[in-house]
A and B are shown apart, each in its own frame.
Chain A
Amino acid sequence: MPVIANMGKVNGIVISGAPAVSDAHVLISTPLDISVSDTAVSTVDVTLGIDSLYDVYEFHCIGIHPSGTSLPNFEFQVDTGTNTSYNQTITSTYFQAQSNYTADGAGNFAAVEYSTGEDQGQGTAFQKIAHGMGDENDDSASVILKLYAPSSTTYVKQFTSVSQMNHHNNSSYSGNTYCGGYINTTTALTRVRFKFSAGTIDAGTIKVYGLEKS
């Protein structure tokens, strides 16, 4: 499991040597930054820096490339305290714009549609934020996940994500997915886990930002 390699500010303490805080969009950590030549990881856990210091957190997942299986889903879950079950209750929507073009034209399509099966109604599974990804060398997904007030002890925790992914498994497929929902707990969230539904994360970068509170 990768360690947080680029800590900027945790619990209000600025770590010496951290990157300069240039604006209100504060880089907290970079919990994943690997290429295909590095050792693949099964999960990426963000276990530090999710606290009351910021109202809004953004997770920028860039060029996330799967290995070991075809068409996996990229997904996240959260937990509270020091728990590691990652099975909080989530209600979410999920829809996508997609286009697919095959060499012979027979499999061509383009559409915007709701994706039943990617959403969750009070489910405790990992929430998909990109799905059906390709694992060819140039396939990946990039996602921005926004999480509101995870440290609140009053409100359920709302989130949105937008992704762009592709695969080249016998076609040229482009998917643009939108997920929005809430984690149905009033307990403060302290950790986030990212993983693929099958296989490992072969390459990619995840950056955690906090938006300045005041």
Chain B
Amino acid sequence: MAKTLISTHTASADTSIDITSGITSAYKSYEFHFVNLHPANDGVGLRFQVNAAGGDKGFDESMISTMFVATLNEDGSSGAVAYNAADQAVGTDYPLLNFNTGNDDDQSCSGVLTLFGPSSTTYVKHYTYTGVTSAEDDKVHNHFIAGYINVAAAIDEISFKFSGGNIDTGVIKMFGVG
């Protein structure tokens, strides 16, 4: 499974990071690697949206997602894995990839979003995310998200932002797979 690094995006107090080129039919799937995304605001969630080719470019495609989360407090208490209602049921908002990311100097979130077959003009577009969050209240979250973008048109743009405030620092790398 060869990976090709297509582009690297370094945050610097950005409201969002929008990737508007490079998502084409050249690769069957794409991976977005998030490395130490650090929010300006405390306790926010990383979110994403996409644009369909030829659409209104409003980052408002319909998505349906599931979310389950494993959590543990730093004191060793409250370890659990459970489904979380922060999923998205047929919404056009930016669905969450995680939540509660802390903004202490050493806190951030990291993970991988995989987008399957974005250039298909037949199928809805499936995606999965797995990542780790250093949470605002000194706990760890391990998020597992999956869903689909409910559009048959090709997807050619993607946007990432926190639920509040800027992406202060961090790196997003886009790889083509296959």
Contact = CB atoms under 8 A, between A and B. Distances in A.
Contact of A56 (B35, B80, B81): B35
Given A154-B106, A160-B142, A112 B81 contact: yes
Interface residues of A, number: 42
Contacts of B81: 93, 95, 112-114
Contact of B130 (A24, A55, A112, A160): A160
Nearest to B75: A121
Contacts of A213: 8, 173
A149 B36 contact: yes
A101 interface: no
A122 B106 contact: no
B153 to A, nearest CB: 28
A152 interface: yes
Interface centre among A113, A148, A152, A156 (most CB of B within 10 A): A148
Given A154-B106, A214-B5, A91 B35 contact: no
Contacts of B75: 121-122
Contacts of A159: 132
Contacts of A162: 130
Contacts of B141: 93, 180
Interface in A78-133: 91-95, 112-114, 116, 119-123
A180 B3 contact: no
A70 to B, nearest CB: 26
A76 interface: no
Nearest to B109: A158
Nearest to A54: B35
Given A22-B2, A94-B70, A182 B35 contact: no
Given A95-B70, A182-B140, A154 B105 contact: yes
A214 B174 CA distance: 10
Contacts of A186: 106
A116 B70 CA distance: 11
Closest A-B pairs by Cβ, 7 of them: A121-B76, A180-B142, A93-B70, A23-B2, A148-B110, A24-B5, A158-B132
Interface of A: 22-25, 55-56, 91-95, 112-114, 116, 119-123, 146, 148-149, 152, 154-156, 158-160, 162, 178-182, 184, 186, 211-214
